[in-house]
Amino acid sequence: MSRKSLIVLVEDDAVIAELIEYNLTSEGFEVKSFRNGMNMLAALPDITGICLFILDLMLPGMDGFEICRKIKENGNYPLVPIVMLTARGTESDKVRGLEAGADDYITKPFGIRELLARIHAHVRRYNTSVQLQGTGGKDEAAHEDFTAVQISVQPSLPSQAEPALRVSGQTGKLESAGILLDDVRHRVYSEGREIEITNREYELLKFLMQNRGVAYSRDDLLNHVWGYEYSGETRTVDVHIRQLRRKIEKDDANPVIIETVRGRGYRFCEEQDMTKG
């Protein structure tokens, strides 16, 4: 278990909270539990080492959507994943939660094994992101060693994809269509300007850039980026694509960087495509 293993839980149902706490503790996590968002937000400045938030949606005083937005607005938790729990399983609620900044959405009643599997997946990705960002203080040789290991374990690209890693004199960077993804420092720049990006958006953009020119279905993207069965909720891909476009496209209503492929899904453009028209 990583040293960053503290989970913050906001759940007003004492029985559900106790069940989640017990199982997370059994898995080696430390848990700080709150019954409402106001108390959690008040205590947040004194809590360190948070690796994940679990938020119930229907809470007294302040709902999970508002808590999620306030966590994101805080600015101290740009990479920390947020999982929402709710008895409301409508598509509009799920989309609203994702747009508020949540990384996952689990409908009650849920299986505890599924919940734990998703939490472990999110925490693994979070810890990897923190490790990548933390290498910024190492010397250049360490950068090269780490990046060499990282690149060696990347999945094989489809044969139709061009080599995606374009290096501007440094290792561990993806650059295409005016977008620079620094995978050592876990930062993204658009036309030289750093943009704020969630961890899930980062992973999605990274995957598309690594395989630019290749069209992927929503199911493909869920499998490669989310890494587990997401109950067929392909709409979450559309939400994240829309959020990415707002941040990296000059005109997100007419995107040219992340293209929609009719009848297929999405692809990151080949640079020559941007000169058309």
List of domains in the chain: 6-132 (3.40.50.2300), 147-275 (1.10.10.10)
The one-digit pLDDT tens for each residue of the chain (277 residues) are 444 589 999 999 888 899 899 999 989 999 999 999 999 999 999 999 999 999 999 888 899 999 999 998 888 898 899 999 987 666 777 777 778 888 888 888 788 888 898 899 899 988 888 877 764 433 333 233 322 223 223 333 333 333 333 433 345 789 999 999 998 888 899 999 999 888 888 889 999 999 999 999 988 888 888 775 454 566 778 888 998 999 999 999 999 999 999 988 999 998 655 544 4
State how far the alpha carbon of 65 is from the alpha carbons of 59, 83, 96, 187, in Å.
Answer: 10, 11, 8, 26
Q: What is the pTM of this model?
A: 0.56
Sign of CA dihedral 165, 167, 172, 177: negative
Tokens of 244: 């990415």
Residue 13 CB neighbour total at 10 angstroms: 16
